[in-house]
Structure 1
């Protein structure tokens, strides 16, 4: 019997897969526990429609992320910090600081998307990687200057 999986089943497959299983396994376990539905023509059409909707939504999100990335590439962020004579700043600049400065510039980005390997502790210019989408990554230029 063919069924369409509604959730991941370890030994069978992932959500949306059409798999062949024994009749008893489908009727007694998969379908009553809402892990699968019968693979009739109506459910297959519904699955195809859902896949198209999800693909369109992903494409729209990717285009939005690319537009945001273009906006970020044009920006430069300036962060002022107290420092000593050796140009080491007191404290550090973290992804939270960069996200806050971007928010002040009108770009709202979650701080977890800003990928600073280690906190910035010196005066200078830094290219900070930003992952705005799973497939779209860019950089934003950050100037750390003396106060």
Structure 2
């Protein structure tokens, strides 16, 4: 009996797979637990259409993220922070959240969890922050920390 899995089933298959299983297994286990549906021609065509739509959305999202990466590569974020007069250390630190807020003010929508710093920035000067947007897309943003006048 051919069925389309609606959830991952251990040792059977993953969501969306069209598989052939024993009739008893389908009737007694998969159908009552709503883990699968009977693979009629209409449902197979419907499922294929949904797969194509999902793939198109994914490609569009990747394209948008690639465009964002290209724009972010040329961005330099400037922060003016208070520091002791004889020291390069700043009062407080610059974190992922601060960088995310500054990027949002510049017109870029980047989640703070996508920004990777080795550690929070605590000294004046030029620093780099890596922004990972998934699918291998990464951009490096320059962070310029200057002394507040």
TM-score norm. by structure 2 comes to: 0.91
Deviation at 1:126, TM superposition (A): 1.5
Partner of 1:42: 42
Deviation at 1:32, TM superposition (A): 2.3
Partner of 1:15: 15
User: Given the superposition, is the C-alpha separation of residues 57 and 104 from structure 1 closer, same or farther in structure 2, using an over 3 Å criterion?
Assistant: same
Deviation at 1:58, TM superposition (A): 0.4
Partner of 2:3: 3
Structure 2 unmatched runs, 5+: none
Instruction: Provide the C-alpha distance between the structure 1 equivalents of 2:26 and 2:37, rounded to a whole number of angstroms.
Output: 8
Deviation digits for residues 56-114 of structure 1, max 9, x if unmatched?
00000011111111221121100111123231112111000101111111212211111
Deviation digits for residues 12-49 of structure 1, max 9, x if unmatched?
12101122222111012211222111123222222211
Q: Structure 1 residue runs of 4+, over 3 Å off?
A: none
Correspondence 1:104 to 2:105: yes
Instruction: Provide the C-alpha distance between the structure 1 equivalents of 2:136 and 2:54, rounded to a whole number of angstroms.
Output: 16
Report the 3-state secondary structure (helix = DSSP H, G, I; strand = E; otherwise coil) of the residue aligned with 2:133.
strand
Two-structure CA RMSD over aligned residues (Å): 1.4
The within-5 A match list for 1:79-94 is 79-84=79-84, 85-94=86-95
Structure 1 unmatched runs, 5+: none
Partner of 1:124: 125
Deviation at 1:117, TM superposition (A): 2.6
After superposing the two structures, state which structure 1 stretch, 132-141 or 121-130, moved more.
132-141
Partner of 1:74: 74
TM-score norm. by structure 1 comes to: 0.92
